[in-house]
């Protein structure tokens, strides 16, 4: 179903958000639109919202299963603004957001749906889930100059680290159960990445609530939503495997001519399976077996 604006969608179809889990996919361009939408439909998200300007390239089969919403995501603070409006429209619903050429993985996602996973997470009294944005990149940039190839995708198997997240309201002491995570291409090519954009943590799955707001740093105005686990034990975490950084580095004029390859000694083929991400420590099953 097509909607000419977010206002129109929220006026005509806000009731579609009630059940969830809702997936919001923000299309920065037309790269891998089909595969992104297909992946999240297969995971069990209903409804799926595709927001952007370049959203006409979907196959008819997929276009009929989602809501396509005309929206300028390149405007200042466009993504948090859209997420916050959708939060307000459906308090209590589980929600997820990502960009095109990004793919959500969670423990055992090959045999379990996102609904099953969120039901367990809810039973653990959690209202949000940390996800690591794990960079994917094409191994051969001569064949794939935009660095995007699902069949030739590589992943870094090491080079990830975390630092305490300072709390300015508490003399910059570390916040409880919150960390800033770094690694991947944003770490290896940090000279091309503004400091504020170098983190790879994103609270990508969350339950909407009255007064909840997403900020520009992929965190929320409710501190507990930004934690990686409850005080008692480790909780589930997820991974968003993303070509977004590689694509940007090979598209932006300031970096594309400086990067001849993303390969290094810790590159390994991505197997498109949650077990690989758990083996690399990029995803935590918690108490879910």
Lookup: tokens for 75: 């405007």
Query: Does 109 lie in the same domain as 34?
Result: no
Q: Which of 100, 134, 156 is where one domain is finished? A: 100
Domain harbouring 41, CATH code: 3.40.50
Q: Which of 36, 65, 100 is where one domain is finished? A: 100
Q: Which of 55, 78, 100 is where one domain is finished? A: 100
Exposed (0-12), middle (13-18) or buried (19+): which is 10, by Cβ within 10 Å? middle
Query: Does 130 lie in the same domain as 26?
Result: no
Query: Does 63 lie in the same domain as 175?
Result: no
Query: Does 106 lie in the same domain as 95?
Result: no
* CA distance to 24, 45, 186, 236, 247, per residue, from 64 (Å): 16, 15, 36, 32, 28
Query: Does 130 lie in the same domain as 235?
Result: yes
Query: Does 51 lie in the same domain as 140?
Result: no
What gap in Å lies between CA 60 and CA 64, rounded to an integer? 6
**Model pLDDT for residues 91-148, shown as the tens digit of each residue:** 999 999 999 999 999 999 999 999 999 999 999 999 999 999 999 999 999 999 999 9
10 Å Cβ neighbour count for 230?
14
Query: Does 80 lie in the same domain as 138?
Result: no
Domain count, the chain: 2
Query: Does 130 lie in the same domain as 66?
Result: no
**Model pLDDT for residues 48-91, shown as the tens digit of each residue:** 999 999 998 899 999 899 999 999 999 999 999 999 999 999 99
Q: What element of type H or E holds 275?
A: helix 274-279
Lookup: tokens for 240: 């968003």
pLDDT-based confidence at residue 216 (cuts at 50, 70, 90) = confident
Confidence (pTM): 0.96
Query: Does 157 lie in the same domain as 95?
Result: no
What gap in Å lies between CA 1 and CA 61, rounded to an integer? 12
pLDDT-based confidence at residue 39 (cuts at 50, 70, 90) = very high
pLDDT-based confidence at residue 289 (cuts at 50, 70, 90) = confident
Query: Does 123 lie in the same domain as 94?
Result: no
What gap in Å lies between CA 269 and CA 168, rounded to an integer? 40
**Cβ–Cβ under 8 Å, residues 126 and 203:** no
Which domain, by its residues, includes 271? 102-289
Lookup: tokens for 174: 């570390």
| β-strand partners of 95 | 22, 206
**Model pLDDT for residues 147-161, shown as the tens digit of each residue:** 999 999 999 999 999
Query: Does 129 lie in the same domain as 56?
Result: no
**Model pLDDT for residues 150-196, shown as the tens digit of each residue:** 999 999 999 999 999 999 888 889 999 999 999 999 999 999 999 99
Terminal-residue alpha carbon distance, the chain: 37
């Amino acid at each position: 179903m097509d909607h000419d604006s977010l206002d129109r969608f929220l006026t005509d179809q806000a009731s579609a958000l009630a059940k969830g889990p809702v997936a919001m996919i923000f299309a920065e361009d037309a790269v891998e639109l089909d595969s992104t939408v297909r992946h999240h439909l297969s995971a069990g998200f209903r409804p799926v919202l595709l927001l952007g300007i370049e959203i006409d390239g979907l196959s008819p089969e997929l276009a009929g299963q989602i809501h396509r919403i005309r929206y300028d995501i390149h405007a200042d603070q466009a993504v948090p603004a859209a997420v916050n409006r959708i939060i307000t429209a459906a308090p209590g619903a589980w929600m997820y957001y990502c960009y095109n050429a990004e793919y959500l993985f969670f423990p055992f996602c090959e045999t379990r749906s996102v609904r099953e996973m969120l039901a367990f997470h809810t039973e653990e009294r959690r209202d949000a889930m940390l996800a690591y944005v794990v960079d994917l990149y094409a191994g051969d940039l001569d064949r794939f100059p935009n660095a995007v190839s699902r069949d030739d995708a590589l992943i870094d198997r090491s080079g990830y680290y975390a630092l305490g997240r300072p709390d300015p309201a508490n003399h910059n002491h570390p916040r409880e159960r919150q960390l800033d995570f770094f690694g991947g291409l944003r770490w290896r090519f940090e000279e091309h990445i503004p400091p504020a954009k170098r983190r790879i943590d994103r609270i990508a799955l969350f339950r909407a609530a009255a007064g909840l707001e997403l900020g520009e740093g992929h965190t929320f105005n409710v501190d507990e939503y930004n934690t990686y686990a409850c005080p008692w034990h480790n909780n589930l975490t997820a991974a968003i495997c993303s070509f977004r950084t590689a694509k940007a580095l090979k598209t932006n004029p300031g970096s594309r001519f400086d990067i001849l390859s993303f390969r290094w000694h810790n590159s390994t083929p991505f197997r498109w399976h949650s077990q690989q991400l758990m083996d690399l420590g990029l995803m935590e099953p918690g108490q879910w077996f």
